[in-house]
Every structure is written in structure tokens, then in C-alpha cells.
Structure 1
């Protein structure tokens, strides 16, 4: 990566995290696969761990189409969910206790489902996880009026970050980490702050973005009862 010395300190050593699941409702969905990796300032992987999990329920075909993991594969090859969830929570807790930021694209999804899974299996959940880096929230804050979708695929393409095998936990996590570094390089004046300062800023940005979306849906689309949560990084 060029201009590596211009990276803010928080972007020089990152953990990255992603899950693939049985659905979109973080209260009821189960984790099917997960990945935690560590990136250096060049975006190279220095450590990693993957999980394939038997969620204990059928994996809907809609979810299988997204991540390619069938119920049969998960049952035959996957780790039991209670054990895997405990390991994932422990790995995230260790990273955060070291003060190393954890990157997750659309962090409230992954961290909310981890919280739900932890409570489901009697694992002590993460409490106020911090510092978290969410390239989706940051990109909307630094380039608010860019038109088009903000999916991971579209946003990595915009910043010139490679994403292979989208919707595989490892590929998405690594791309999100490298995307965070690319955004940091593109907006050094806004983002050259400490990891904790950036975490705090994202709490406010996420709420502002949710409020703006609520206003749009109610006043432009006529959905007068529309509401969405602006809580971040856990909903």
C-alpha cells in the first residue's frame, strides 16, 4: 500500500471481523461462519482464525444462496454453536482489551448477533465493545452526498479495494479492514484521531445517519411511522 506512513495510528494495526448467518434478524439469526484476522499497516494478514458452525437450526435456502453453506455441511463439518460462540466472544474481548480496533462493516449487525448468541448460550457478552471501526458509518460521514448504494462490494470498488468471494466471512472481513485503511488515507484531516476518539465520533455519526434516513422515509417516501435504530455498535 502506498503512502503507508500517512495512515493514522489506529489504522496501522487492526483486527477484522465478519459473520455469515441464517438470517437478517439479529435477535433470532444464528452464526454459521465467522472470521477474525489481524492486519498490519500494509493490509497484510498477520494472524487469523475461522469458524464453521453448526447453528443447531435449519439454514434457510435464502441464506445458503448468500454464503453457500448448507445445513448438511454445517452439521457434518461445523463446530457446536455454544463452544464456537464462546471462542468468538473471547477472541473479540482479547482484541479489545489490548486496545486494538476491531473493524466490522455495518458493525451493529455483527456485534448485535454476537450479543444475542452469547446470551442464548450463557456466554458473558461483550459490554460496550470499543474501539470499533465501521467503514460504512465512516464513509457516510466523510462522503455524505455520494450517490449510489453503500454495500461492501460497491464501497470497496469506489475506494479501489479488492474484494474476492463476497459474502464469505474471511473475504468480507479482510476487505473491510483494507477499506478502513483506504478511507483513512483518503480523508486524513478528518480521520487522523485516536481509535477511541473515532469510536466516539461514530456513535454520533450513526445516530445522525439514522435520523436523516427516518426523515427521508417519512417526509419523502410517505412512510409516516417509519423508524430505525441509530444505536451503534450494538443495537
Structure 2
């Protein structure tokens, strides 16, 4: 059987942050997981704890368990840490190793904004082109199983695809490993994904996201809420 992109190296990416505003919040932890095939034994994990140079609000502390005091005492300076992160991601993408991130638009947007704030070259600037190829299991799942009812959080997708999770979600490294597991489960369930090229899949996700976002914005409008979901993906 011919190998496809799912059998080749992947780079998983996740952040934990001070909040959900990509322009004003800061990154607290990053995990990059180099995966060369199925199974945790084939993963190399790099993690960063970062001093965000601002207080970490209590709701964010409850999500990821990192206090302001701990980040200040043990975290790296943001510029040094995020320069390392961006360098590793750019090197992987430069070799056509796809970046895998669950709801990756958030993580990429906050990373690009942090790099700009710190006076460092953005990921797009380092690449010299749009950030690609990116694989987002959330976007892919919405695309290939559009009409399935229910939520699609990482926890929900782990349950839907019957994946046992033994770590603590909302720690960046565990979230990345779980995201890679979901991606492999998606490919097993929807074999057409493996038959696509990475470039084609990237383009399909752009279309899948736009279709979902247009529908969701219509839903928000009907509810009398502001239709503020971006139509573009991944940034």
C-alpha cells in the first residue's frame, strides 16, 4: 500500500494563553509535537513556558492551571521563546511538513500578533508566503461530516472517534497529541482525505471554513447577535 501524507512527518501545534482575544491577550505556553507516524512513541515534544508580562486572569488559570506567579518565576522571556517557536514552525513548513492545530486560526493569529508586538518577523514573513500547509481537524471534521449534530470541541471529537485520552486536556502538549490522534481517526474514517494532496486539503479547508462561517453568521444574525465570525482561514 502506498504511503500518503498521514504516514509522513507532521508538526502539531498548540498554545495556552491569558485569554481569547488574539490582539490583546498573550501566550503562556506553547507545545510543538513532531510526529513521524501513529503512536505516542513516535512523537518528540518541545514545550515552552512563557512569562506573558501581564497578569493571567483567573478564568484562564482555571483552564490551564498556570498562575501569574509561576509564569513569572519560571517562564522564558516571550521574545526568546516565540522566536524559537516561529523558527521551528517555519523550518517544518519550509519542508512541506504540515502544521496540525485544532482551531488553529486562534493559535496562528495570536502567535503572529505576539511576534509583531515583540518586533520579530512573523511566521508569514519568515516563509515569504501564506502559512501553509495547515491541517485543522476541527475544520476538516466540519467539512467531511457537515450535518452531524452536537458540539465539536476536542473532547467531543475524541469521544466521537472513540479515542481514549489518558492525559490532562488543556495542557498544550496533551492537546497536541490528542489533536494528532483525531486527525488520524478522521483519515481512517474518511479515506478520501488521505488520497488528497496537502495543497488540495489546504484549499478545501479554506472553502469548508467559509461555508461553515457563512452559515454560523446567519445563525447569529437570526438570534439578534453580531455576525462576527471571520470567513477566512487559517488567518
**Both proteins in one fold, TM over 0.5:** yes
Offset at 1:148?
Answer: 1.0
Q: How does 1:53-64 map to 2 (within 5 A)?
A: 53-64=50-61
Aligned pairs for 1:151-166 (under 5 A) are 151-163=153-165, 164-166=167-169
> How far apart in 2 are the matches of 1:7 and 1:204?
26
State the alpha-carbon separation in 2 of the partners of residues 80 and 222 from structure 1: 43
Task: Give how far 1:170 is off.
Answer: 0.2
Give the Å deviation of 1:200.
Answer: 1.1
Q: Residues 154 and 179 of structure 2 are in contact (CA less than 8 Å); yes or no, is this contact kept in structure 1? A: yes
Alpha-carbon shift at residue 11 of structure 1 (Å)? 4.9
TM-score (norm 2): 0.92
Compare relative contact order (CA 8 Å, sep 6+) and give the higher one, 1 or 2.
1
Please, what is the CA RMSD of the aligned residues?
1.5
The question of 1:84 aligning with 2:81 is answered yes
Structure 1 residue 7, shift from structure 2 partner: 6.9
One of 208, 212, 227 as aligned partner of 1:209: 212
Q: Tell me, which stretches of 5 or more residues in structure 1 are unaligned?
A: none
Q: Is the CA contact (8 Å cut-off) linking 1:107 and 1:232 kept in structure 2?
A: no
Deviations 1:114-146, CA, capped at 9 Å, x for gaps: 000000111100112110000000001111111
Unaligned runs of 5+ in 2: 125-129
State the shift of 1:89 in Å.
0.7
Give the equivalent residue in structure 2 for 1:107: 104
Q: In the comparison of the two structures, how many residue pairs are matched?
A: 228
Partner of 1:185: 188
Contact 2:31/2:48 (8 A) holds in 1: yes
TM-score (ref. length: structure 1): 0.92
User: Is 2:234 the partner of 1:233?
Assistant: yes
Q: Deviations over 1:142-193 (max 9, x none)?
A: 1111111111011111112233201000000111011111101100124521
Distance 1:205 1:61 in 2: 35
- What is the SS of the residue equivalent to 1:57? coil
**Pairwise mapping of residues 158-177 of structure 1 onto structure 2 (< 5 A)?**
158-163=160-165, 164-177=167-180
Q: 2: distance between equivalents of 1:189 and 1:130?
A: 20
Which structure 1 residue ranges, 4+ long, deviate > 4 Å from structure 2? none
2:6–2:194 Cα contact (<8 Å) kept: no
1:20 is aligned to 2:16: yes
Structure 1 pair 11–150 and aligned structure 2 pair: CA distance change class (3 A): farther
